[in-house]
Amino acid sequence: MDLDTVQLKLRDFYKRHQRLPTHGEMVKLFHYSSRGSTRYLVQKLLEEGIVSKDEQGKLVPKSLLDIPVLGIIKAGYPMPADVQQDNYLRLHLLFDSLPPDTFALQISGDSMIDEGIYEGDFVLINKHQEVKNGDIVAANVDNEWTVKTFKREGESVVLLPANKKYPPIRPTVSLEIGGVVVHVIRSYR
C-alpha cells in the first residue's frame, strides 16, 4: 500500500476517533496479518515525518494533517496565481505552539464583523498573553462575557465593537479579561 493511501486512511481514522490508531487497530485498518507489519509501517511514517511520538510514546499527527499551500491568490481583480512548490500549512505546528490553557469560544452575534469575526466562528483564546491596546479580548464586563477590542483611555478601559450599529462598552461595575484572541476558525459548510 502506498503512503498516500495510508495517509488517507489515517486521516479518516483521525477524523472519526480524534486520535491515531493503535498497532492492533492498524492491523484491521490496513488488512495486515500481524502487528509486525504495522511496526514496519510506523517506522516508515516516523522516518517520513508524517507522525511522531508524544512523551508517552503514543503516535500523534505531524505532517499527516498538513495542507499544501499552492500559492497566493488575489481577492481583488482576477490575475494569474503565484504557484509555490513544497510549501505546507503545518497545522500541528500551529496548535502545538498554543499554551496548554488555551481555550475556544464559539461566537454568537455580529458585533465583531468588521474584524472578520462572524457568528458561528470559533475564537482561540490565550489566557495568559499580555493584553495590549488593539487586542481582541474575551472580557467579563459587569458580569456578562463578550468579545471586543481592548482600548485603554487614561485610567479607564473601553471595549470597542467592530460593527457601527453597536456602541462602545465602558465597564461600570467590573471588568475581567479572560484572554486574548489569537486565532479565528471559520467553516463554510
CATH number at residue 176: 2.10.109.10
User: What are 96-123's pLDDT values in tens digits?
Assistant: 677 777 888 999 999 999 999 999 999 9
User: What are 15-53's pLDDT values in tens digits?
Assistant: 888 899 998 999 999 999 888 889 999 999 999 989 988
In a domain, 50, yes or no: yes
Percent pLDDT > 90 in the chain is 48
pLDDT for position 131: 96
Residues 175 and 116 in one domain: yes
- Last residue of a domain, which of 17, 45, 64? 64
In a domain, 86, yes or no: no
CATH number at residue 18: 1.10.10
- Last residue of a domain, which of 37, 64, 91? 64
Catalytic residue among 111, 164, 165, 187: 111
Name the residue range of residue 171's domain: 103-185
pLDDT for position 91: 72
In a domain, 44, yes or no: yes
Q: Which three cell numbers stand for residue 98?
A: 498554543
Please compute the mean of the pLDDT values over residues 157-177 and round it to a whole number: 95
In a domain, 95, yes or no: no
Q: How confident is residue 85, by pLDDT bands cut at 50, 70 and 90? A: low
In a domain, 13, yes or no: yes
pTM strictly above 0.75? no
Q: For the chain, what is the domain count? A: 2
pLDDT for position 81: 55
Catalytic residue among 74, 148, 164, 187: 148
Residues 60 and 128 in one domain: no
Instruction: Assess whether 148 carries a catalytic annotation.
Output: yes
